[in-house]
Amino acid sequence: MRAVLIVNPNATSTTPAGRDLLAHALESRVKLTVAHTDHRGHAIEIGRDAVRDGVDVLIVHGGDGTVNEVVNGILGEAGPGEPAPAV
């Protein structure tokens, strides 16, 4: 199973220690890629790319704005009836 951990380092709910702990726990279960957002709208791009790449799961480590962007990226790319990653 392929997964992407999307981290918004500017979100108040995230810390480097939390990110590292989460990534370490996930790496034992899935083939993990970690992506950091670096500008507004970047999580939309990451979500869109994940759909194109056939990623199975997206894990969001950030605030509600980051989750919103990821979902919008997925919905903007996956067509009706097409598979989309779990969030």
Q: What is the pLDDT of residue 84?
A: 84
Q: Is residue 85 part of a domain?
A: no
pLDDT of residue 56: 96
Give all strands (DSSP E) within 8-78, no chain letters: 31-36, 57-61
Each residue's pLDDT tens digit, 41-87 = 999 999 999 999 999 999 999 999 999 999 999 998 877 777 888 88
Burial 27-57 (b: 16+ CB within 10 A, else e): eeebebebbbbeeeebbbebbbebbeeebeb
The count of domains in the chain is: 1
Which residues are catalytic, by number? 64
Residue 83 lies in a domain: no
Residue 86 inside a domain? The answer is no
1-49 confidence digits (pLDDT tens): 999 999 999 998 889 999 999 999 999 999 999 999 999 999 999 999 9
- Specify whether the backbone of 52 is left (phi greater than 0), alpha (psi in -120 to 50) or beta: alpha
Report yes or no on 62 lying in a domain: yes
